[in-house]
Amino acid sequence: MNIKENLKKIKREIPANVKLVAVSKTKPVELIKEAYDAGHKIFGENKAQELSAKYPQLPKDIEWHFIGHLQTNKVKYIAPFVAMIHSVDSFKLLREINKQASKHNRSIDCLLEFHIAEESTKFGLNIEEAEEILLHPDIKTLSNIRICGVMGMATYTDDTQQIHREFAHLHEIFDHLKKKFFSGEPSFKEISMGMSGDYKVAIKEGSTIVRIGSKIFGARD
Ligand SMILES: *Cc1c(COP(=O)(O)O)cnc(C)c1O
């Protein structure tokens, strides 16, 4: 497994306007450093405590993305430094992210996570729940967060047509929210979709951020 070569290959395959988040969950800091030394500076983790343990051991110009399910009581561990949280699924969580970000005088970019998989096991909102969050009377008071777009995970399947459908659905959700709530806000522009097995499909369906782990760092245990 050559991390530098893997990164080079993936970067050749994705358009320049699509951001690559290298998903380093479960991988040791030595391997993250290897990717960093190859010139990559954007990494993703899915556990707050794992991320907050790795953070002090690595260079400070890394842009950290949080991509996993996040409990409100864990926000404080990552709020001092995290750049983007992809997995917002409640107003309560958004309010806590805002509160913790304000303690550190920062702003944290957030994505709303949608349930797009036809299978029923994955986290995420539906449109009605998302609109409820966006219509919350206090939403405008949250000045230390910025809602920048949407995130979703497709079903783990060999059925490429199904994956196309699920990602196309997320793109429709993005367009709907953009029009209804964010038409005047250029920062609402991100569609985070695509992992090692399906990022090429995701890019065809308009992904702006892909989250790739095993294709860079090798299979996880
Ligand atoms: C683990 C994970 C990824 C990366 O998965 P790979 O298949 O290893 O590329 C992407 N997104 C989320 C939310 C993840 O938990």
69-121 pLDDT, tens digit per residue, is 999 999 999 999 999 999 999 999 999 999 999 999 999 999 999 999 987 76
Q: Compute, in angstroms, the gap from residue 213 CA to the centroid of ligand 1.
A: 6
Q: Compute, in angstroms, the gap from residue 142 CA to the centroid of ligand 1.
A: 29
| 214 pocket-lining for ligand 1 (C-beta < 6 Å) | yes
- Does CATH number 3.20.20.10 belong to domain 3-217? yes
**Structural domain boundaries of the chain?**
3-217
| 196 pocket-lining for ligand 1 (C-beta < 6 Å) | yes
Question: In the prediction, which pLDDT does 3 show?
Answer: 98
Q: Compute, in angstroms, the gap from residue 131 CA to the centroid of ligand 1.
A: 26
Q: Compute, in angstroms, the gap from residue 195 CA to the centroid of ligand 1.
A: 6
Question: In the prediction, which pLDDT does 1 show?
Answer: 67
Give the residue-averaged pLDDT of 213-219: 97
Is 215's pLDDT higher than 80? yes
pLDDT band at residue 151 under the 50/70/90 scheme: very high
Give the residue-averaged pLDDT of 34-47: 98
Q: Compute, in angstroms, the gap from residue 196 CA to the centroid of ligand 1.
A: 7
- Residue closest by Cα to atom 6 of ligand 1: 213
Q: Compute, in angstroms, the gap from residue 149 CA to the centroid of ligand 1.
A: 18
Atom of ligand 1 nearest to the CA of 21: 10
Q: What's the whole-number average pLDDT of the chain?
A: 97
Give the residue-averaged pLDDT of 197-208: 98
| 194 pocket-lining for ligand 1 (C-beta < 6 Å) | no
Q: For residue 73, what are the contacts with CB-CB under 8 A and spacing of at least 6?
A: none
pTM to 2 decimal places: 0.97
Q: Which of 51, 66, 67 to mutate to test the pocket of ligand 1 (most atoms within 8 A of CB)?
A: 67
Task: Give the ranges where the chain is alpha helix by DSSP (H).
Answer: 3-13, 29-37, 48-54, 75-78, 91-103, 127-134, 160-181, 199-204, 214-217
Give the torsion through C-alpha atoms of 97, 98, 99, 103, to 10 deg: 100
- Residue closest by Cα to atom 11 of ligand 1: 211
